[in-house]
Chains A and B, each alone.
Chain A
Amino acid sequence: MKKRAALPYIVWMLVFTIVPMIMVVYFAFTTKEGAFTLENLIQVKEYAGTFWESIELGAVSTLICLLFGYPMAAIMARSKAHVQRTLVLLCMMPMWMNFLLRTYAWMTILENNGLFNSFLQLIGLPKLQMINTSGAIVLGMVYNFLPFMIIPIYTVMVKLDTRLVEAAQDLGCNWLGVFRRVILPLSVPGIISGITMVFVPAASTFIISKLLGGGTMLIGDIIELQITGGANNLNLGAAMSLVLMIIVLITMMVMNVFGDRESEVALV
Chain B
Amino acid sequence: MKLLSRIYTVLMFVFLYAPIVVLIVFSFNESKSRSMFTGFTLKWYAELFRDDVILNALANTAIVAVISALLATVIGTAAAVGIHAMNNKLKNVMMTINNIPMVNPEIVTGVSLSLLFVFGIQLLQKLGVDASLNMVTLVIAHVTFNIPYVLLSVYPKLRQMNPHSYEAALDLGCTPLQAVYKVILPEIMPGVITGCIMAFTLSLDDFVISYFTSGPTSQTLPLVIYAMTKKRISPKINALSALLFATVLILLLIVNIRQMRDSSKNEPKKERSFAS
Binding site for B on A (CB under 8 A): 1-10, 12-13, 16-21, 23-24, 27, 68, 71-72, 75, 78, 85, 87-94, 96-102, 104-109, 111, 113-115, 117-118, 143, 146-147, 151, 155, 196, 200-201, 203-204, 206-207, 211, 220, 223-224, 227-228, 234, 237-238, 241, 244-245, 248, 252
Task: Given A17-B144, A234-B115, answer yes or no on A245-B105 (Cβ-Cβ < 8 Å).
Answer: yes
- Beyond A5-B78, A97-B245, A113-B35, whether A23 also contacts B115 by CB under 8 A is yes
Q: Give 1 or 0 for each of B249-267: 1 = CB within 8 Å of chain A CB.
A: 1001000100000000000
Chain B residue at minimum C-beta to C-beta distance from A247 = B105
Residues of B near A146 (CB, < 8 A) are 16
For chain B residues 217-272, which have a beta carbon within 8 Å of chain A? Answer: 221-222, 225-226, 229, 233, 237, 240-241, 244-245, 248-249, 252, 256
| A6-B78, A204-B108, A248-B105 as given contacts; A91 in contact with B16, CB under 8 Å | yes
Inter-chain CA distance A91–B13, complex, in Å, is 8
Contact A13 B97 (CB under 8 A): yes
The chain A residue with its CB closest to the CB of B1 is A175
A3-B86, A6-B78, A237-B111 as given contacts; A204 in contact with B12, CB under 8 Å: no
CB contacts (< 8 Å) of A108 on chain B: these are 19, 22-23, 26, 34-35
Total number of B residues with any Cβ neighbor in A under 8 Å: 79
Nearest chain A CB to B273 CB, angstrom units: 7
* B157 at interface by CB-CB < 8 Å: no
CB distance from B255 to the nearest CB of A (A): 10
Q: A4-B82, A72-B8 are in contact. List 8 more A-B contacts (CB 8 A).
A: A2-B85, A6-B81, A88-B275, A93-B249, A111-B34, A206-B107, A220-B105, A248-B105
A88 touching B9 in the complex, CB below 8 Å, given contacts A9-B78, A101-B237: no
In chain A, what residue has the closest Cβ to B12? A72
One of B44-52, B123-131, B188-196, B200-208 contacting the partner: B200-208
Contacts of B113 in A (CB 8 A): 16, 20
Known contacts: A3-B85, A91-B16. The answer to whether A8 contacts B75 by CB under 8 A is: yes
Interface of A is mostly: helix
Contact A207 B252 (CB under 8 A): no
Shortest A110–chain B CB gap in Å is 10
Cβ–Cβ contact A104 & B222, under 8 A: no
- Measured between beta carbons, the chain B residues less than 8 angstroms from A90 are 13, 16
In the complex the two chains form, is A13's CB within 8 Å of B115's CB?
no
Would you call B156 an interface residue if the criterion is a C-beta within 8 Å of the partner chain's C-beta atoms?
A: no
| Pairwise interchain contact B205-A96, C-beta atoms closer than 8 A | yes
Closest Cβ of chain A: how far from B48's Cβ, in Å? Answer: 14
Contacts of A19 in B (CB 8 A): 116
B276 at the interface (CB under 8 A from A): yes
Q: With A and B bound together, what is the CA distance between A186 and B143 in angstroms?
A: 36
Q: What residues on B are CB-neighbors of A100 within 8 Å?
A: 207, 222, 225-226, 229
Q: From B150, which residue of chain A is reached at the shortest CB distance?
A: A9
Q: Which 10 A-B pairs have the closest CB atoms?
A: A6-B82, A9-B79, A105-B19, A20-B112, A204-B105, A5-B82, A2-B85, A5-B78, A23-B115, A96-B248
> Residue A93 contacts which of B22, B211, B248 (CB distance < 8 angstroms)?
B248
- A-contacting residues, B14-40, CB 8 Å: 15-20, 22-23, 26, 34-36
Q: How near does chain A come to B34, taking the closest CB pair, in angstroms?
A: 5
